[in-house]
A and B are shown apart, each in its own frame.
Chain A
Amino acid sequence: MTRRTPAASAPRATRAARKGHGERRAPHLFLLPAVALFLLFFALPIGYALYLSLRSVRVQGLGLGSGARREVWAGLSNYADALTDPELASGALRVLGYGLIVVPVMLGLALVFALMLDADRVRGRSVARLGIFLPYAVPGVIAALLWGFLYLPDVSPFHFVLAEAGLPRPDLLDGGPLYGALANIAVWGGTGFNMIVIYTSLRAIPPEIHEAARLDGCSQVQIALRIKIPMVAPSLVLTFFFSVIATLQVFSEPTTLKPLTNGVSTTWSPLMKVYQDAFVKGDVHAAAAGAVVIAVVTLVLSFGFLKAVGSRTRQGESR
């Protein structure tokens, strides 16, 4: 396919001169809605969050009457509070533990399923592809609700089977097992989408490469390990990157499980703490500082990873 190069030849140049005006203005008009929405709903809120995080409310006297509560510049004190807040810190630790289960298990399963879909002589390929992908269509809240009931001793089939077998029944909604229970919900919901991303790039590998390796006597496993996995490395990096961003911001799953168990506190994840600050305590300044800290940590971690692996993911963007 040939790319258009403006004013490449003389006739084109005169035509461009004749119609150039509309042609020059058009892309800006076409981009206008996207850029306007970006400024209003992405750039402005981020700027506002930064502004709020540097302010605080000073209460005078008993805080009664008008003028008793004044907004003042607070410098970095909100950040100092956020960084030394034990609740936020322990929430961060919990989410770190949770993420250490979710990300490797989810991406490991996604890679294995993608390789199996790509293997020869597989039966039921399209059923499996759709079946494993299906949880993507289930909202996180409803996924948490379904699994929550499956964990609940009164209703759970696992508990039923264990009880019939006379085995001890672990409480899946508290302590250590809670991490596994929450991680399972994220793994269930996210594996399919990542599998599709990896499978798509597997299918982009020219078949001649497998064929050559097979003629050289490589087994299926060797082909997978030595050829397929290295060739889909960019899409693995990309799925890892987005999984980390999503995992660190976990909110709806623990929030949904909260009514079912005392094991989940109102500040279980850092994001839940921000919600508490903003809407229960009504301190938007602390909430804004907390949100900025979470965002910065998320971006530093994910970009740090990208840098560490010497990313090739920007390939697709610069065309």
Chain B
Amino acid sequence: MTATAPTLSPAPTGAAPTPRAPRRTALVPTAVLALGTLYCLLPVAWVLVAATKSGRELFSTFTFLPGTGLTDNLADLSAYRDGVYWRWMANSALYAGLGALLSTAVSALAGHALAVYRFRGRETVFNVLLTGVLMPPVILAVPQYLLLAEAGLADTHLSVLLPQILSPYGVYLARVHADAAVPADVIEAGRMDGAGEWRIFRTLALPMMLPGLVTVFLFQFVAVWNNFLLPYIMLGDDEKFPITVGLFTLLQQGAGTPALYTLVITGALLAIVPLIAVFLVIQRFWSLDLLSGAVKS
């Protein structure tokens, strides 16, 4: 008791804040969030460090001690099977970029139709499209492969691209945004001025829906970039693999030979850099909340 008394006594007289001081940091929430952030960044920090290590350093030095092999690792990765790694990256960019662009276009058209017009069966169409969200990918992927194989499209770029164009969640987001952002009087005024329905969509509705459509694009881009099951089932030729399937096959070969570990690790780092960079850049003018269907009013 006597030992603690001196340390306690200065507290009330010192810079201790009053109980309701607005500037004081709330310790518990801040600490919990800091721990959560550390947990989430740990594997990313690890791969960042591990990619700098040579094969020998990977097993001999402390995990979070940077190594000296980054440039060698990058050169090895680029040289692996005549640069097939960059081929995978390009494929992923194609699948995700073009797929998300087409998906956004389809969602914008459907969302506009569902929000602006009244017609028979509108809610039925919307609800049926939404059931697509609930369809487990497994019941879709295997028959999709068989049907595309019938059509002679299995193991082509199209077989990965086509099934991922329609995004039920994208249609939902586009409708919510069109509902909130496109006032009915604007559409009406456009008609009074004699604009056709297509022109009203292109020049009036589309610009107003844009923030919502950016969200649809990002959502679908991430969904396609991260997809593994569909391309894994559809593709046999590794020249057409996206990065997820490519890295998986690399790991499969590398599991027995630790010499390939550094390639897998460097490849993993390079594969997550583009998406993380996109999110870091885009969050300046785009809010994460939009992903969950939030609408600014």
Contact = CB atoms under 8 A, between A and B. Distances in A.
A291 B139 contact: yes
B201 A30 contact: yes
A46 B119 contact: no
A317 B130 contact: yes
Contacts of B293: 200, 316
A147 interface: yes
How many chain B residues sit at the interface, stated as a range, is 35 or more
Given A116-B29, A199-B289, A140 B228 contact: yes
B184 A1 contact: yes
24 contacts: A1-B183, A15-B192, A30-B110, A30-B117, A31-B114, A33-B106, A46-B139, A46-B140, A48-B147, A120-B26, A121-B23, A121-B26, A127-B37, A128-B36, A131-B36, A132-B40, A139-B226, A149-B261, A245-B136, A259-B252, A260-B251, A291-B138, A291-B142, A292-B139
A10 interface: no
Nearest to B192: A15
Contacts of B58: 155
Interface stretch (B5-13, B67-75, B163-171): B163-171
B146 A48 contact: yes
B197 interface: yes
A113 B36 contact: yes
B136 A121 contact: no
A143 interface: yes
Interface in B127-184: 127-130, 132, 134-140, 142-144, 146-147, 162-163, 165-166, 171, 176, 179, 183-184
Nearest to B106: A33
A153 to B, nearest CB: 10
A139 B225 contact: yes
B244 to A, nearest CB: 4
B173 to A, nearest CB: 11
Majority-rule SS of B interface residues: helix
A229 to B, nearest CB: 15
Nearest to A4: B184
Contacts of A260: 251, 255
A19 B165 contact: no
Nearest to B229: A251
B289 A200 contact: yes
B275 A137 contact: yes
A251 B139 CA distance: 13
Interface stretch (A34-42, A66-74, A78-86, A93-101): A34-42
B264 interface: yes
Interface of B: 22-26, 28-30, 32-34, 36-37, 39-44, 46-47, 50, 58-59, 62-64, 105-107, 109-110, 112-114, 116-119, 122-123, 125-130, 132, 134-140, 142-144, 146-147, 162-163, 165-166, 171, 176, 179, 183-185, 187-188, 191-192, 196-198, 201, 222, 225-229, 233, 243-245, 247-248, 251-252, 254-255, 258, 261, 264-265, 268, 271-272, 275-276, 278-280, 283, 288-289, 291-294
A23 B105 CA distance: 20
A223 interface: no
Given A22-B196, A140-B228, A128 B146 contact: no
A141 B241 CA distance: 14
A173 to B, nearest CB: 12
Nearest to A239: B292
A136 interface: yes
A77 interface: no
Contacts of A169: none
A203 B289 contact: yes
Most buried by A among B44, B58, B183, B280: B44
B167 to A, nearest CB: 9
